[in-house]
Amino acid sequence: MEMTVNARDQEQHGLGLGLSLSLSIATAHPVEPPPQRAISVAPISSHPAPPMPPQPQWWSGAGLFFSHSSGTDRSLERKQQPAALAACHGHEMPFLRGIDVNRAPAGEARRGSCSEDEEPAASSPNSTLSSLSGKRAAATRSGELEGDHTPRAGGGSDDEDSGAGGGSRKKLRLSKDQAAVLEESFKEHNTLNPKQKAALAKQLNLKPRQVEVWFQNRRARTKLKQTEVDCEFLKRCCETLTEENRRLQREVAELRALKLIAPHQYARMPPPTTLTMCPSCERLATADEAARPAPTGPWGPVPVRPVFVDGPARRS
């Protein structure tokens, strides 16, 4: 079961970009990434290989956080929820401590415990909401259904939220502490199971839905950033190959000229080695090497695409 989930995650996180050059190598093994290798451009080349950032922790962290199930093993989680939620208050998340939260007033109509927070209506508003889109969505926006707005300390009340024409959607800004904890959690595991979600929500005084949304957006940002990194990487690959191609063409021209000028000397030279450029690993290989099967790639070590590591740049 977990394999299925992971396979799906691989597919989804593996950048369905159609960037097939060397990306597939890295994306095919997100759970257990191959060791970083420098890109070995042609042995005779003097061009520096494109820089390659290290891989993020979460990339290889799938399934490690709550080891009883993968992040999306819902069936198991659903069965385990009552007991799990009873014991979910941060026990398995050592980093969830001492969070100074921008909390709504204590009297606010929030369901306190994480088990209570996992009520059906809030657990997956999307699935049900989407099928009821029109009215229900509008109702949600105006705070009728979930009261999903969690104002910051001193912020507006629910009354204020729904007051402005009913269609306003107040936007909570997470505090630095909250964002830091979420970020830390994301590094550990880029998806959440209900236990984790509830624990985080409880600890941060957010709604599980908010934690869920944050993770969704965070995954989207990571993927976007990764796409940018990939584009940059491919651009550099292209430049490198173009330059290499120019150089080889110059070399060919020089050799031809030499053949015309001194045909006798040229005849005594050893036969030229046939060089072939591997399109995926950017190594040059002789015809012999190319014919030989290699253990790790067509002609040797396989380069790993750069992977985005840091969080998105923030203005401050």
Which stretches of the chain bind DNA, using CB under 7 A? Answer: 1, 4-5, 8-9, 12-13, 16, 71-72, 74-79, 120, 123-131, 133, 137-138, 140-141, 148-150, 167-174, 179, 191-194, 209-210, 212-221, 223, 312-316
Sign of CA dihedral 27, 217, 213, 184: positive
What per-residue string of b and e applies to 176-212 under the rule 16 or more CB within 10 Å gives b?
A: eebbebbeebbeebbbbbbbbbbbbbbbbbbbbbbbb
Q: Output the CA angle 11-15-19, nearest 5 degrees.
A: 120
Q: Which is nearer to DNA, 211 or 284 (CB)?
A: 211
Q: Which of left, alpha, beta for 254 (phi over 0: left; psi -120 to 50: alpha)? A: alpha
Give 192 or 200: the residue with its C-beta nearer to DNA: 192
Distances (CA, A) of 268 to 2, 24, 273: 64, 45, 15
Distance between CA 214 and CA 56 in Å, rounded? 18
Q: In whole angstroms, how close is the CB of 10 to DNA at the nearest point?
A: 11
State which residue, 107 or 134, has the beta carbon closest to DNA. Answer: 134
Least distance to DNA, CB of residue 208, Å = 8
Nearer to DNA, 149 or 305 (CB): 149
Q: How many Å apart are CA 216 and CA 208, to the nearest integer?
A: 12
Rank residues 114 and 278 by Cβ distance to DNA and give the closer one: 114
Q: Report the nearest approach of DNA to the CB of residue 180 (Å).
A: 11
Count of CB atoms within 10 A of residue 134's CB? 7
Minimum CB distance to DNA, residue 18 (Å): 12
Nearer to DNA, 37 or 141 (CB): 141
Minimum separation from the CB atom of position 165 to DNA (A):
9
Strands 284-286 and 275-277: antiparallel
Query: CA–CA separation, 288 vs 302, rounded Å?
Result: 18
Give yes or no for a contact between 248 and 242, defined as CB atoms under 8 angstroms apart: no
What's the closest the beta carbon of residue 265 comes to DNA, in angstroms?
59
Residue 82 exposure: Cα atoms within 13 Å on the Cβ side: 1
Q: How far is the CB of 130 from DNA (least distance, A)?
A: 3
Nearer to DNA, 115 or 191 (CB): 191
